[in-house]
Amino acid sequence: MSAVDKVLDQYNSRVYKNRKEHMVDIGNNENDNQIAANVRTIPGIITQRGCCYAGCKGVVLGPIKDALQIVHGPIGCSFYAWGTRRHKGKKEEGVDNYLQYCFSTDMQEPDIVFGGEKKLKQSITEAMDLFHPSTIFICSTCPVGLIGDDIHAVAKWAENEYGIKCIAYSCEGYKGVSQSAGHHIANNQIMRYVIGEGDREVKNKFSVNLLGEYNIGGDGWETERILKRIGYEVVATFTGDSSMEDLKNAHRANLSLVQCHRSINYIAEMIEEKYGTPWMKVNFIGVKGTIGTLRKIAKFFQDEELIKRTEEVIADELGLIQDDMAYYKSKLKGKTAAIYVGGSRAHHYQFLLHDLGVNTVLAGYEFGHRDEYEGREVLPFVKPDADSKNIESITVEPDTEKYHLYLPKEELEKLKEEKVIDYYGGLVKDMPDGTFMIDDLNHFETEEFLKILKPDIFFSGIKDKFVAQKSGILSRQLHSYDYSGPYAGFRGAVNFARDVTMGIYTPAWSFVKAPWKTVPILTGTFGGE
């Protein structure tokens, strides 16, 4: 009996039938590794997913440092999205930085009963008096959608009243099936009201956008350092350490590099459709992953001097880390890992683990869609359900004034055929037979798979991290890197290897036993004694 069958066998028939479609024993299944994804979690199951608001405010919008972001809702929602992602931002001359602040309307019961628009206006007025921002975002949470507050009307009022840019995001937590819905909503509004408004001159023809890079633990800075060293100009990063001015000028880049496919692919596609800038799926996690990405970018620009410079930088960066990587590989070779996170991380980190001789036995996404698992070739066969239709999909038309192409259309078509641009192959193609691909892994399944597979380390988020550690298995967060990072690029690979080695060779959790395993829960005497 396979590990999947052992876990499924403990469910009742209804849950069994549902969850079976979300589990793939790679190379040992009847459905050609097809998986169900982006559908509702069964009520009652302890999922590790986040909500629509978490995806919108917590992931995509949160790192934009000079937009004052007001959460219209109860204070608990604001706390959830305040500083927990560790998206870092540098101080810049002339650019506001509100990352350290938490802004909330702190809705109370009377606001739910009588409406909260008046309180939202008061909050905007107070924010203007104290901080004088040029941009305000309004993010709504569940109660706002239920009572019908019109945050878009309030945003228009703020623009007329104060002469600022104010954008409302109807990202109530209950929308969609996971935080993926929030990504989509954020992408739509940024495309509508931000991208294309700038007119900053970009002189470097090797100009790129870095999409889906949220600068967790400084990842974006390390990636940008490498790109600049080769000779690229990073026009805008979506959205780690970004400013509104950066995002306004994103349409002026010649290529968009997509790191986290799920959270930002909507913008990547719309920028290409409207302004002509193609996108390329990249991976700056792992030594081989970073090298492959740098060579692929250089191939797009078709410049011999750039290709030569790319190889020089790769050789130099490798020379600085080879000894460290060899040492850590000697410590980690033969270990096994399980990865369950969001975005593309469950895919990317397998490359870095492979660099260190660690085999991945299980991987899955919290909020991935089928194309994250199986590749974009499945998109024509994905039928939108009611939950997907609940999230608006906007269409854009080419901008005749700002549309531009770095390469002739014939060259672009050739690169598309070679799958260099406008393509993502998905997770499954890089996972060997005998490993497991699980969508929406829940609390129960986490415990069961850890018992069966016994990985040396479990990479996860904060909610499931301690499930593993209580089982005596080391766990590291890949959503926010606990308190470490960066893990991207060449230097980041060494940081990651160091942290994993320290954890595995300090197995404190394996020595801890739950008190109920050694101490009686109840004590007493039999009657009559």
Q: How many CB atoms lie within 10 A of CB 482?
A: 16
Let me know: does 178 contact 366? Beta carbons within 8 Å. yes
Query: Within a 10 A sphere around the Cβ of 68, how many other Cβ atoms?
Result: 23
Q: What is the residue type of 464?
A: D
Is residue 119 within 8 Å of residue 105, measured between CB atoms?
yes
Report the distance separating Cα 276 and Cα 274, nearest Å. 6
Q: Which two tokens stand for residue 455?
A: 């990985």
Question: Terminal CA-to-CA distance of the chain, rounded, Å?
Answer: 49
Catalytic residue list contains 77: no
* Closest to 248 (Cα-Cα) out of 188, 199, 203, 185: 199
Which residues, 6+ apart, have CB-to-CB distance to 391 below 8 Å?
175, 176, 181, 184, 185
Q: What is the DSSP letter of 178?
A: S
What is the Cβ-side half-sphere exposure of residue 291, based on CA atoms within 13 angstroms? 14
Q: Give the residue from 290, 296, 297 showing the smallest Cα distance to 314.
A: 290
Cα–Cα distance between 269 and 216 in angstroms, integer?
Answer: 24
Q: Among residues 49, 72, 86, 183, which one is catalytic?
A: 183
142 is catalytic: no
Residue indicated by tokens 């990651």: 496
- Tell me whether strands 135-140 and 279-281 are parallel, antiparallel or unpaired: unpaired
Q: Which of 3, 51, 171, 468 is catalytic?
A: 51
Q: Is 56 a catalytic residue?
A: no
What gap in Å lies between CA 397 and CA 413, rounded to an integer?
20
Give φ, ψ of 247 to 5 degrees: -65, -35
Our answer to whether residue 183 is catalytic in this structure is yes
- Tell me the three state secondary structure of residue 422: coil
Neighbours of 366 (CB within 10 A): 26
Beta strands in 62-190 (DSSP E): 68-72, 103-104, 135-140, 165-169
**Which residues in 275-312 are b (16+ Cβ under 10 Å) and which e?**
bbbbbbbbbbbbbebbbebbebbbbbbeeeebbebbee
Residue of 37, 52, 54, 168 with catalytic role: 54
Token digits of residue 133: 């921002």
The residue annotated as part of the active site, out of 19, 22, 85, 261, is 85
Could you list the active site residues?
51, 54, 85, 183
